[in-house]
Amino acid sequence: MARRVLKTFLVLALTLVVAIGGYVGYVAVRSAQPVTLPAPTGASPVGRTTAEWTDHASVDPLAPQPGMPRELSVWLWYPASLDPGAQPAPYAPGLWAGLRLGGPVGLAETGFDHVHDHAFADVPVAAGRFPVVVLEPGLGFAAPQYTAMAESLASKGFLVAGGTPTYSANLTVLNGRPWSTTEAGNPRSFDASDFHAGQAQADGDRLVDVWAADARFAANQLATLDATGRFAGHVDTANTVYIGHSFGGAAALEACRTDQHCAGAADLDGTQYGPVVHTGPARPMLLVASENSCVTGTCPTPSTDSATARTLLSASTGPIWCYRLDGATALTITNAYLTAFVDHVAHGRSEALLSSRQSPYPEVEVQRTGS
């Protein structure tokens, strides 16, 4: 989360969620009209299940009470094998219907039953072994709000694990109860009304370490699932790609830095925090910026955010792709570049979209292509 961007967090968050499909759900509840999320373009039908995992080796520094273990709600999207009894997976079942983008609950909201996705609930996994994609939401958001992106990747042969950052998200559901933010999990210094650059930097560096640990824990849990249960024999544990939006993008880069199984990391419009800024990831990295963002090291007005990004770029030793995009087709474009990147780093396939200096999308400014 950029120090400059933090001052206009809600506006940017709404803009960026357009690019990842969450805003379409917001429009749906605003209008109370049935809306179907963009259909996945891959060959596989998509299954979805949920899990609650406890990291007993970690004391949660964000919890409202000391000494609690870190618990995560994780949504899993995967290539599926459908049977005649397959049932659609609701967009936000049960207590997850309380999801919101910000502001008071009930602000022009009805229910997420008007939003229709394309996944099927708890169906068998398709034949094959699938690379892991760990998806980190932006600050305040939850994994279900990234359904369009997750379904797109799953339909193309990836096992996507979306973890909702407990006590940082406006809502997560654990043990049959809804949980909101704590001061430690969503610091006051990130709020435009109480912004302080130095404190926000310190809080960001502290928080990104927790989120990166969550991402690595999710990847490790999937490795254990490769032995038993629904995903036995289906998890390619040697290939993990970390992706994230906004603050989750910073966490994805930091998680990749410290995971020997990381094949690459993608930061979707997130200012970078933590040790990765100065050491860089040794793996391939994708940075996608919105129109006025500085996360790729260039922006209309130089700022501390662009300086942070340039430090990261200078320290990184792996290939780097940087793009700036804008426009109403942002979701389509983001999914195209993200899929090309994940496919390239996980499978080693040559991707023309990544190697070209001229994008087929007029809304995209190509800034760096793997150098």
**What are 165-201's pLDDT values in tens digits?**
999 999 999 999 999 999 999 998 887 666 667 888 9
Domain range for 29: 3-369
pLDDT value at residue 111: 62
pLDDT value at residue 331: 86
More confident residue, 302 or 108: 302
Q: Output the domain CATH number for residue 223.
A: 3.40.50.1820
Q: How many domains would you assign to the chain?
A: 1
Q: Which two tokens stand for residue 50?
A: 């949920």
Identify any residues that bridge with 49 across adjacent strands, giving them in sequence order.
76
**What are 136-148's pLDDT values in tens digits?**
999 999 999 999 9
Taking CA atoms, 257 is separated from 64, 241, 283, 340, in Å, by: 29, 11, 8, 21
**% residues pLDDT > 70 (the chain):** 87
Per-residue pLDDT band for 106 (boundaries 50, 70, 90) equals: very low
More confident residue, 9 or 355: 355
pLDDT value at residue 210: 98
Mean pLDDT of 234-247: 94
Per-residue pLDDT band for 371 (boundaries 50, 70, 90) equals: confident
Q: What's the whole-number average pLDDT of the chain?
A: 88
More confident residue, 227 or 366: 366
**What are 39-88's pLDDT values in tens digits?**
999 999 999 999 999 999 999 999 999 999 999 999 999 999 998 889 99
Whole-angstrom Cα distance, residue 39 to residue 223?
29
CB 338 within 8 A of CB 266: yes
**What are 251-310's pLDDT values in tens digits?**
999 999 999 999 999 999 999 999 999 999 999 999 999 888 999 999 878 788 999 999
